[in-house]
Amino acid sequence: MASSTGVGVTIVVALMLIQSHNLAAREAPEPPVPVQPANPTKVVLVNQIDAVLTIHCELNYGEDLGSQALPAFQTWEHSFQPKFDWINRMTCSFLWPGRVQDFDVYKQTRDVRLSELYWLVGTNGLCRIVDKTQECFPWN
């Protein structure tokens, strides 16, 4: 036969767990709101592949930037105003003999604090140069 004290303790513990869970849910911090960039963002792509690179880029809010043929070791750039009410992304496809790759050359969550993104495009991915420091990323 079960004791009434054991049942009472179980109920009290269950109520404490529910209350603790409710407090934790109410105290959870809000995710940070991205800062609205004040100036246009410029993306610069440098072809580091020893071949003509065809680039096709588009912004996630519907703007298709078309295709450009970029000779080896040449640059292409595009400036745009990030929109606060969208999760901004600029995605490019890169085509060269025998390969097609994609990469997000601008992601608001990663790049919101940068007004210029300078990318070196290589066969293994892209490397971003910020303040003379190089950070490399693999293809998507």
* Average pLDDT for runs of 10 along the chain of length 140: 54 50 49 61 96 95 91 95 76 96 93 92 96 94
* Residue 25 domain-assigned (yes or no): yes
pLDDT at 39: 78
* Residue 111 domain-assigned (yes or no): yes
- Cβ neighbourhood burial of 125 (10 Å; 0-12, 13-18, 19+): middle
8 Å CB contact between 89 and 104: yes
pLDDT at 86: 66
Q: Are residues 60 and 17 both part of a single domain? A: no
Q: Are residues 67 and 19 both part of a single domain? A: no
pLDDT at 76: 97
Distance CA 118, CA 134 (A): 10
Question: Which residues contact residue 76 at a Cβ distance below 8 angstroms, ignoring those fewer than 6 apart?
Answer: 44, 45, 47, 55, 68, 70
Q: Are residues 82 and 18 both part of a single domain? A: no
Amino acid symbol at 105: V
pLDDT at 38: 63
Domain count across the chain:
2
